[in-house]
Each structure stands twice: as structure tokens, then as C-alpha cells.
Amino acid sequence: MKKIKTMVNGIPGKVATGIAARLLSDDRFELIRASFTGPEIESATQLVGSVEIRLIRPDQREMEIKRIKSEEGSFITIDFTLPSAVNENAAFYCRHQLPFVMGTTGGDRKALEETVRSSSVSAVIAPNMAKQIVAFQAMMAYAAKHFPGLFSGYRLEIKESHQKTKVDTSGTARAMVGCFNSLGVDFSEDQIIKIRDPQVQKDELGVPEEHLNGHGWHFYTLESSDKTARFGFFHCINGREIYAEGTLDAVLFLHQKIKAEQKRRIYTMMDVLEGNRQQ
């Protein structure tokens, strides 16, 4: 099978770097030795394993993308950058005809989708690339659709804990709010408790010390108004391997859609899961 050329943007960020390392170890992919990075990055290169990746700042990328496309031909871009760069990056990918997998959270999500729909570029866009968590969200969405108002009158608490470098509220936690609203719970995104203090994470939550710099722990707790009934859901992820695995599946899925010349332009991780199930 011909290898799928892939460019990972966001290096030297930990998620992007981890995904690049996975691509290098997987015979199905060929990693392009360049990465678009942020304006604050001073280094010109970054080692991923023993491979040197050239880092390209925003003021250089308009010129550099022409050279990369000329040398590499067609490829799929993976974006794990910063929330502040989401919309600008998507516009750049669409302008230069670069199909992409967007795992970065934040930004104006409605504008993001409109940018892709108004272009000829296909993309997988998801606030969470972990397949198992996406499946959990699908189960909750099913309950919200088929049992509306089930938890009417209940009080909801959502806590999410991530490494202190994650600046935005978890996109996964925000996405879950709509499900709970449909289930009858009065709750808004600004009520989500965002934990970024490593001491609190270690002492109160029990996050292992070796994963304080890379974890995603989410807790959803429902309690009846008279406090006689209590329900809880949680998913606790240490490290970033689960996100890399889902991202590679998304790249394979998007590659197949592009090969089949599918007309649909925007896909989610649920589409990726469905695609895997049908194979």
C-alpha cells in the first residue's frame, strides 16, 4: 500500500509531537519533515525521535507551503495547535487546498465549519479524538434523544482536569452540556469546573504525578433535588496515546473519502467510528 503523506502542525507541542512520533513508527504513513508552529517558538527545528522536523512560524508559511506542496504533492494535515489559531489555520488549509484533521479545541466552531463548507476541502473536525470517549458521547446523545427530560430537576456538576498548559475549557466537557440539557438539566458551559492546579490534581483528584503534564479527567455527577438519588459518569485518561490512535484512524478515514471523491466535506469522529464499523 502506498504510504499516506501527513504533515503534523503544532510541534513542539506535546500532542503534536506524540502524534508525529506515532506516524514515524507506522508503515502506513510518511511524515513530512516540517511543521507549522506558533510565533512564540524560537527554535528552527525539533527532534522527534531521531528525525529533525523543521519548524515554520506564521510569517513564513505562505511562502513555505508552496515549496512543500511542490516537493511533496498531496498530503493530509493534522492540526494540534492552539485555540487562538483554529480559525486562521482552517482558513489557511482551505485556501491552499489542504485536507485536514483538526483536533485542536476552541475557536469559533460555527465559523470553522462554515469555512470548510464554503471551500472544496474535506476535513475531520472533532473536539476529542479518543474513539472510546466519542462512543461514550454517542451513548449520551442517544439517551438525550430518546429519553428527553429524564433528569429534570436534577443538579449537575461537571469537573474537568487537564495539564496546566491547556488554556481553554475542555471541548469534550462543553459538548456534553447539550446532552444534559436535553435530558432536562439546567446547566450552562460557564458552570463547568476547570481544574488546572497540579497540587489539587494530585492531592484531591489522585492524578498520578507522572501524568500531571498530560491527562484528561472528566467527572459528570447528577443529584436529585431531594438528594436521595445520585448518578455519576467519568472518564480518566493519562497520557496522550489514546488521542494519537484516534487521530491516525481519522487520517485513514479521510484518505479513503478523498480517494473515493466523496462530496461531503466535514466529518466527525462519529463518522470515523461508523466507517471503521462498516469495514
Spot the catalytic one: 131, 162, 255, 257.
Answer: 162
DSSP per residue, 82-147: -GGGHHHHHHHHHHTT--EEE----S-HHHHHHHHHTSS--EEE-S---HHHHHHHHHHHHHHHHS
**Distance between CA 120 and CA 122 in Å, rounded?**
7
Helix-, strand-, coil-residue percentages of the chain, each rounded to 5: 45, 25, 35
Pairing state of beta strands 215-223 and 230-238? antiparallel
Contact 232, 221 (CB under 8 A): yes
Task: Give how far Cα 196 sits from Cα of 138, 179, 191, 209, Å.
Answer: 27, 25, 15, 14
Active site residue 145: no
Single out the catalytic residue among 159, 164, 166, 257.
166
Secondary structure letter of residue 168 according to DSSP: S
* Contact between residue 9 and residue 78 where contact means Cβ atoms under 8 Å apart: yes
What's the chain's Rg over C-alpha atoms?
Answer: 20
**Is 166 assigned a catalytic role?**
yes
Catalytic residues: 162, 166
